[in-house]
Amino acid sequence: MNRFRCIESIPSSLRLGLLFGAFMVLQLVVLRMANRAGSGFLPQPQQELVYLFLQVAVIGGILLHAALRRRALTAAALGTALTGAAVMLFAPCDAPWYLLVTGVTTLTLGFTGGAVYTRLALYAVGERHAGRSLGIGYAAAVALQYGLQLQWEIKPALLLLLLLACGVTGVLLSDSHAAPSAEEEQPVSRFALVAPAVITLALLLFTSYYNSYIHHLQIASGYTDFNVYSLPRLLMIPTVMLLGTVADLRGGRLLPVCTLCVVSLALLNTALLGRETYLLNMCLYYVALTAVVVYYHLTFLRLAPRTKHPALWACMGRLLDSAAVILSFGFRFSQLSQVAVLLIDIAALAVVVVMMAVSGSFNLTVPRKQAAPDPFLSAQARYGITPSELRVLRELVQTDDKQEVVAARLQISVSTLRHHITSLYKKTGAQTRAALCKLISQQAQPH
């Protein structure tokens, strides 16, 4: 049952941007505070391991959600993340218990992220402007987090922002049990999943050099001289908006090539100028990282509904992001010589080029106009209809059979059938079977 009837009237593109932006605000602020855990009592080498610990916690939370998808657990995780964030905001970070709170908060944030990405995959089904919606949401999150968090003394405003972000996230996850249905979609091939995963990991390993290098300078300077949240970070806003728009063109075929070009530009800077040009490195890091983030978010959100485990594949880009950070720490990319870094970068980009070529990413031909989207799937995405309710909806619209006949064909009891019908009426606002037929007819018409 959808207790937030007003959400049903919001277009899926707007819901996509709102949910992604709200969660990104929560994630950016929490991880920014979490990076400070351990300062004051941990030596510098161990302090840098805190960042690694946070990535492990995020991965653990996402995997827990994929295994334990329960609406009550998602609500509890969101509440715990908000409570932990409030404690982290006002409590001193130079105490061991602060590190414990950070771990719990990050773990529950990862669990919430699993639910958010699964829901985003549902909103993105058939959505023509998914890239633009995600870009707007992410740009707003970066702008809000940047504007408030540069001044830590405005903690009440930051807490209000956290409350608002959690509220929007919680409302839009009110039907988080309704996972995308792949019943009517052609299942995605194994190679179609492996190729973008390899491409994403290779690109992230490349950008992880910048990430670890800048983070190392940030830790060493006490977040003052080299602050990773300084002015160059704002380059993410125009970059994500531009690439989000590009991702909606030509059926998304332009995005992989654009991402490759942006990352290659950063590689060219590494080869010609090296790590001494810190400010330029930071600017290119944010542009390249934003391109990769847009690539893996949209790629896996669009693929997830057609997989056997959508809750896992919807989050795959974020999982690979954290995995790349862990690998970069293990190989200590920030301490390698310029020649070694350049060789690793070239190898990573070679893998990207090969995988893109094999997977057809360089084919920029506009795909043929596809058949009109299934109106039932469109209704499912718009109203948060569950897979079981979708089966009932098809029977009610496509047949004139009585409830007893429909229940027998679906192999469910009449009482269960009536429960699904009542839920359909509440979610769609329809009051009769004829009204449901009219609603599906309207979904079939071009918008």
* Same domain, yes or no: 150 and 226: no
Q: Which of 391, 389, 376, 361 is nearest to 442 (CA)?
A: 376
Q: Is residue 284, in this structure, part of any structural domain at all? A: yes
* Same domain, yes or no: 288 and 356: yes
| Residue 246, pLDDT score | 92
> In terms of residue numbers, what domain contains 45?
13-178
Q: Is residue 288, in this structure, part of any structural domain at all? A: yes
User: H-helix or E-strand containing 37?
Assistant: none
Say which residue the tokens 């007893």 belong to.
404
List of residues 6+ apart from 215 with CB closer than 8 A: 48, 51, 228, 334
Q: What is the mean pLDDT of residues 22-30?
A: 90
For the CA atoms of 409, 415, 417, 418, what is the dihedral angle to 10 degrees? 140
CATH code of 253's domain = 1.20.1250
- Asked whether 225 and 279 are in contact (CB, 8 A), the reply is no
- Asked whether 446 and 27 are in contact (CB, 8 A), the reply is no
Instruction: Examine the pLDDT at 390 and tell me if it is beyond 60.
Output: yes
| Residue 161, pLDDT score | 85
Cβ atoms within 10 A of the Cβ of 274, count? 12
Which amino acid is it at 439? Answer: L
For 2-34, b/e burial (b = at least 16 CB within 10 A) is: beeeebbeeebbebbbbbbbbbbbbbbbbbbbb
Instruction: Examine the pLDDT at 404 and tell me if it is beyond 80.
Output: yes
Q: Is residue 122, in this structure, part of any structural domain at all? A: yes
* Same domain, yes or no: 268 and 414: no
Q: Is residue 316, in this structure, part of any structural domain at all? A: yes
Cβ atoms within 10 A of the Cβ of 391, count? 19
* Same domain, yes or no: 77 and 165: yes
Please report which residue ranges of 125-151 form alpha helices under DSSP H: 130-149
* Same domain, yes or no: 244 and 314: yes
* Same domain, yes or no: 234 and 133: no
The Cα–Cα gap between 144 and 210 comes to 24
pLDDT band at 440 (very low <50, low <70, confident <90, very high): confident
* Same domain, yes or no: 157 and 20: yes
Greater confidence, 244 or 267? 244
* Average pLDDT score over the chain: 81
Of 336, 363, 390, the position where a domain reaches its end is 363
* Same domain, yes or no: 333 and 194: yes
List of residues 6+ apart from 220 with CB closer than 8 A: 44, 226
Please report which residue ranges of 304-401 form alpha helices under DSSP H: 310-313, 316-331, 338-359, 375-383, 387-398
| Residue 169, pLDDT score | 92
* Same domain, yes or no: 168 and 146: yes
User: What is the pTM (predicted TM-score) of this model?
Assistant: 0.75
Q: What is the mean pLDDT of residues 110-117?
A: 94
Number of domain units in the chain: 3
Please report which residue ranges of 91-125 form alpha helices under DSSP H: 96-124
The Cα–Cα gap between 323 and 190 comes to 21
